[in-house]
Chain A
Amino acid sequence: MSTVPTELKYTKSHEWVRDDGDGIVTVGITDHAQEALGDIVFVETPELGRIVECDEATAVVESVKAASDIYAPLAGEVIAANTQLADTPEAINTSPYDLGWILRLRVRDNGAFNTLLDAAAYTQIVAEEE
């Protein structure tokens, strides 16, 4: 059974979102997602300053078997990307909620954060998939 930390928010497409305050959020993929993808071998992170809409394909995570788009959970500007993943893409497998973070956004609409799924709702989605 995969872990779903209660302090985070989630999307249906299996991204997690952490509120860092001041309209900044950190985004990664969930434990369930990394487990489904298998060994991650390459991550394509977005350029800093890129403006993204909600649900826009913003990064790509490639496992041994396939490439998967990572969608922006909220509209905003990319202000950081985890460049460590270039050398250690497997951090997404071993530490999906910490070392495996993918990007940071300055969100356009602060209130939108609360429209994301909470841990209970996301757990429900995972249960339905499994």
Chain B
Amino acid sequence: MGLHTPLFLEHQRLGARIVPFGGWEMPLHYGSQLEEHHTVRREAGMFDVSHMRPIDIDGADATAFLQYMLANDVARLTATGKALYSCLLNEQGGVVDDLIVYSRCNERYRLVVNAGTAEKDLMWLNAHCGSFAVTIQSRPDLAMIAVQGPAARAKTLPLLPAALRVAAETLAPFFSAELESEQWFIGRTGYTGEDGFELMMPAAQAPDLWKSLLAAGVKPCGLGARDTLRLEAGMNLYGHDMDDATGPLDAGLEWTVAWQPAEREFIGRAAVTARRTDPTRRELVGFILIGAGIMRDHQLVLRDGVVVGEITSGGFSPTLERSIALARIEPGIDGNYTVDIRGKKVAARIVKLPFVRNGVSRIEL
């Protein structure tokens, strides 16, 4: 049996289909994954993401430590509360995990890492903190709820502790605010391509907030909709689009590697720098299927009849009502593409990411 989040009973009460995920038992959907997806694009949905792990990095060397650990540069977090997406690389330039880092005042940061990799990440951080004056504190005591969709903020604001509400109302995208005395933390971030909040609070308070959101008309959404939403938004999923052996340059994440300043040493820098000119480097691109069928992970991609790569995240786009995918292919975009779907070569074409943003398709069908 897997681990349960503080909201597990709520999921059971709502009739969720529960599936194992990254060591946890999580809701896949509460009836219809498609409806949940559309609700987030059109109105507001909420996800229990308490399986994800906040990790607090505090201390005099917190900035220096994260500048050494992360491929992106926390020096870009020039304002308190600002958030940054980054990969945690290994020496070979592979991705240990991808994460969001929020800056807090006075040499304090909060990372939020993936569920299945949380223990690995903690070991990795602890193994490298030796000479830095930092403390690394895992925060499994906090629950996380993501409220996403065009109406998400308006529905969430009245339910926040009064002392946090004003800050939350004026929060800019990719910024966070917190009410430290109550251990409430709010980020205007997400994983759906829609506006919204990600909220952290003490585990015991999560069920009440969940029920209040439900009463306010926010629809519970499972991991199924979370996956189709992030795929439409062109966002990577760890373990599918990148992993310990596949680095950021081969996963469409070069924009998250801060090359400047050149003198900043970070783990994996030499390897990813070498990868820039490596002829075996691959690129991650978006595909939309022209023919009938659904692209799935690991199906082969052919250019002019020759295999040039494979699907890393494939599925059905509820917004476009077509199959869409991320695929890792050999460089050289031009050509006629097909995807091998159970032995059939089905026509597909490359499109610019994202597929969908803020409820609107970015793709000409």
Residues of A within 8 A of B (CB): 38-39, 41-42, 44, 60, 62, 64-67, 86
Select the stretch in B25-33, B66-74, B210-218 that faces chain A: B25-33
Q: What is the distance, in angstroms, from B259's C-beta to the closest C-beta of chain A?
A: 38
Q: What is the distance, in angstroms, from A41's C-beta to the closest C-beta of chain B?
A: 4
In the bound complex, residues from chain A placing their C-beta under 8 Å from that of B318 are 64
Q: A65-B28, A65-B224 are in contact. Are A39 and B34 (CB under 8 A)?
A: yes
In the bound complex, residues from chain B placing their C-beta under 8 Å from that of A38 are 17, 28-29, 32-33, 224
Q: Is B187 an interface residue (CB 8 A)?
A: no
**Is B293 in contact with A44, judged by CB distance below 8 angstroms?**
yes
Q: Is B316 an interface residue (CB 8 A)?
A: yes
Q: A38-B28, A60-B342 are in contact. Are A65 and B293 (CB under 8 A)?
A: no
Q: Is B219 an interface residue (CB 8 A)?
A: no
Q: A38-B29, A39-B34 are in contact. Are A67 and B294 (CB under 8 A)?
A: yes
**Is A64 in contact with B224, judged by CB distance below 8 angstroms?**
yes
- Determine the residue in chain B with the shortest Cβ distance to A38: B33
16 A-B pairs besides A38-B32, A44-B293, A64-B228 with CB distance below 8 A are A38-B28, A38-B29, A39-B32, A41-B294, A41-B316, A42-B292, A42-B294, A42-B316, A42-B323, A44-B292, A62-B293, A62-B294, A64-B34, A64-B316, A65-B33, A65-B315
Q: Which of B29-87 contact A (CB under 8 A)?
A: 29, 32-34
Q: Which of B184-239 contact A (CB under 8 A)?
A: 224, 228
Residues of B within 8 A of A (CB): 17, 28-29, 32-34, 224, 228, 292-294, 296, 315-316, 318, 323, 342
Cα–Cα, bound, A57→B149 (Å): 40
Q: What is the distance, in angstroms, from A89's C-beta to the closest C-beta of chain B?
A: 10
Q: A38-B28, A42-B316, A62-B316 are in contact. Are A67 and B296 (CB under 8 A)?
A: yes
Q: List 5 A-B contacts (CB under 8 A).
A: A42-B316, A42-B323, A62-B293, A64-B316, A67-B296
Cα–Cα, bound, A7→B296 (Å): 37
**Is A39 in contact with B33, judged by CB distance below 8 angstroms?**
yes
Q: What is the distance, in angstroms, from A104's C-beta to the closest C-beta of chain B?
A: 21
- Determine the residue in chain B with the shortest Cβ distance to A93: B32
Q: A41-B316, A42-B316 are in contact. Are A64 and B33 (CB under 8 A)?
A: yes
- Determine the residue in chain A with the shortest Cβ distance to B34: A39
Q: What is the distance, in angstroms, from B232's C-beta to the closest C-beta of chain A?
A: 12
In the bound complex, residues from chain B placing their C-beta under 8 Å from that of A86 are 292
**Residue from the set B28, B32, B33, B294 with the largest chain A CB neighbour count within 10 Å:** B294
Q: What is the distance, in angstroms, from A96's C-beta to the closest C-beta of chain B?
A: 15
Q: What is the distance, in angstroms, from A105's C-beta to the closest C-beta of chain B?
A: 21
In the bound complex, residues from chain A placing their C-beta under 8 Å from that of B29 are 38
In the bound complex, residues from chain B placing their C-beta under 8 Å from that of A44 are 292-293
- Determine the residue in chain B with the shortest Cβ distance to A42: B294
In the bound complex, residues from chain B placing their C-beta under 8 Å from that of A67 are 294, 296, 342
